[in-house]
A and B are shown apart, each in its own frame.
Chain A
Amino acid sequence: MKKVIMGNHALSYGAMLARAQVIAAYPITPQTQVVELLSEMCADGTLDAKFIKVESEHSAMAACIGASAAGARTFTATSSQGLALMHEMLHWAAGGRLPIVMGDINRAMAPGWTIWTDQNDSLSQRDTGWMQYYCASNQEVVDTVLQAYKVSEALSIPSMVVLDAFALSHTYEVVDIPEAAKVDAYLPPFKPRYRVSPSDPRAFGGLTSPEHYMELRYNLQLDMEKAPALIEKTGREYEKIFGRYLGQVDPYLCDDAEIVLVTSGTAGYTAHVAVDEMREAGYKVGNLRMKVFRPFPFEEVRKYTARAKKIAVVDRNISYGHHGIFSQELKSAIYGHGDCKPVFGFIAGLGGRDITPSSFREVVDTTISLDHPAGEIGWIGVKK
């Protein structure tokens, strides 16, 4: 059924269709609509779930951990400061092997106070063991939440579905809401192998010595490495049922591109528009929109940049003292694979500054004009 909904509500619909059983959330701009709609759905019976109105995001994740450990399908959503406050608990959820799904609205970190978008909040969590999906349309958000549950529950690894603040969270788009019966066939109820239960009393997460810790974490990595194949498999399954394929990347005209742009989030769709414009003007450019960031899609990235002469990564984030995070990770992915082509790293759109097709024009012009990047970072749109 087609509805015109905002990105935040797409998350709510995803959680509702997934039949989340316990939701624990705390409000933060610009996530509030996610939990408000879920609250209404719980109140009017559309969703049979317990909604715990916790007193902070740290408690939100702790409650999700408790509920998931007890065997319930859980959901929460947050942004920026809230995600940062949850940081300790993100490690706990991943190390505890709990398949929690969380919506994160990418919002820049304070100070100064800001409600607008960039990716530092979620990317700061990239080492915690959570899977990360970056969405660029509301349709993708609903679909990805469902896939995320399927993959998370198969691997016992939590995941976050990420949306740009305002650019996606508050943008209204036409979304084909999947039919509940079909979703139930795609995503059956959560049946954990082990759960907190008096009938099988165990201690979870006890003191772990150097004798054992490393193997537990080795196993987490091994399971994370199974994700790319599983995302592919579940993405094709989804396509069979709903007509929309959910992959790790969204490549556009990369095969014959001399310059491949690497992008993510809504900027990734803007890049798509920019590529069309530039192709008309005679540039041989392509766009590789990265959707899955964790686990890093090494194969896809290598495949779609293999034929390019140059790569231009546009990051809406920065790791201070280094450079853009997608750029760092891409370089590490292609290092030692194929020919050593120049990777131009650009940073744009921090704190919600607009990224437009002309931003990409500037990126491409700069990339063409130099054999090698002038410095580590090409700053776009900064009043220097």
Chain B
Amino acid sequence: MPKKRDAAKVTFTSATEMPTMPMSLGSMLWNKTGTWRNIRPEIKLEDCIQCGICWKFCPDMSIEIEDEWPVVDYDFCKGCGICAEECPTKCIAMVEERR
């Protein structure tokens, strides 16, 4: 499993904790955009030819490569469907998200 990408949201309880210049203090990894989707990609690895196209075209950096195979990071995948559309062997199915 790829390392879980996560971070804490930055909050302040007082003006004294705030930076002088308006600037960032943390990442966006607390924002699990996986909650946005209605459909989710499911990769059928038997038909995957390891071309890297799904990884390449994911706008949200939500397909990672683990041990030479693509793995969807469902914490962040927004369900846009580009990976399924572009996959040359059509081994990615967009299925209805179950909640």
Q: Which residues of A contact B (CB under 8 A)?
A: 95-97, 156, 193-194, 202-206, 208, 212, 215-216, 218-219, 222-223
Q: Is B1 part of the binding interface, using a Cβ–Cβ cutoff of 8 Å?
A: no
Q: Is B2 part of the binding interface, using a Cβ–Cβ cutoff of 8 Å?
A: no
Q: Are B20 and A206 neighbours in the complex by a CB distance under 8 Å?
A: no
Given A215-B12, A218-B15, A202 contacting B23 (CB threshold 8 A): yes
CA gap between A219 and B15 in the complex, in Å: 7
Chain B contributes a number of interface residues (CB within 8 A of A) equal to: 11
Q: Are A216 and B23 neighbours in the complex by a CB distance under 8 Å?
A: no
Q: B92 to nearest A CB, angstroms?
A: 33
Give which listed residue, B14, B15, B18, B24, contacts A202 with CB less than 8 A: B24
Q: Which of A96, A206, A216 has the most chain B CB atoms inside 10 A of its CB?
A: A216
Interface 1/0s, chain B 9-22, versus A by CB < 8 A? 00010110011111
Given A212-B12, A218-B15, A96 contacting B21 (CB threshold 8 A): yes
Which chain B residue shows the least CB distance to A69?
A: B21
CB neighbours (8 Å) of B12 from chain A are 212, 215
Q: Are A194 and B23 neighbours in the complex by a CB distance under 8 Å?
A: yes
CA gap between A95 and B14 in the complex, in Å: 19
CB neighbours (8 Å) of B15 from chain A are 215, 218-219, 222
Q: Are B18 and A204 neighbours in the complex by a CB distance under 8 Å?
A: no
CA gap between A212 and B12 in the complex, in Å: 8
CB neighbours (8 Å) of A203 from chain B are 23-24
Supply 14 further A-B pairs (C-beta < 8 A) apart from A156-B20, A215-B15. A96-B21, A97-B20, A97-B21, A156-B21, A194-B20, A194-B21, A203-B24, A204-B21, A204-B23, A204-B24, A205-B23, A206-B24, A216-B18, A218-B15
Given A215-B12, A215-B15, A219-B15, A206 contacting B22 (CB threshold 8 A): yes
Q: A95 to nearest B CB, angstroms?
A: 7
Interface residues in B3-40 (C-beta closer than 8 Å to A)? 12, 14-15, 18-25
CB neighbours (8 Å) of A216 from chain B are 18, 22
CB neighbours (8 Å) of A202 from chain B are 23-25
Given A212-B12, A215-B15, A219-B15, A96 contacting B20 (CB threshold 8 A): no
CB neighbours (8 Å) of A204 from chain B are 21-24
Interface 1/0s, chain B 62-88, versus A by CB < 8 A? 000000000000000000000000000
Which chain B residue shows the least CB distance to A95?
A: B22
Q: Are A208 and B22 neighbours in the complex by a CB distance under 8 Å?
A: yes
Q: Can you report 16 A-B residue pairs in the complex whose CB atoms are below 8 A from each other?
A: A193-B20, A194-B19, A194-B20, A202-B23, A203-B23, A203-B24, A204-B21, A204-B24, A206-B22, A206-B24, A215-B12, A215-B18, A216-B22, A218-B15, A219-B15, A223-B20
CA gap between A206 and B24 in the complex, in Å: 8
CB neighbours (8 Å) of A96 from chain B are 21-22
CA gap between A125 and B71 in the complex, in Å: 55
CA gap between A204 and B15 in the complex, in Å: 18
Q: A371 to nearest B CB, angstroms?
A: 47
Which chain B residue shows the least CB distance to A156?
A: B20
Q: List the 9 shortest-distance A-B pairs measured between CB atoms, nearest first.
A: A215-B15, A203-B24, A97-B21, A202-B24, A202-B23, A204-B23, A205-B22, A215-B18, A218-B15
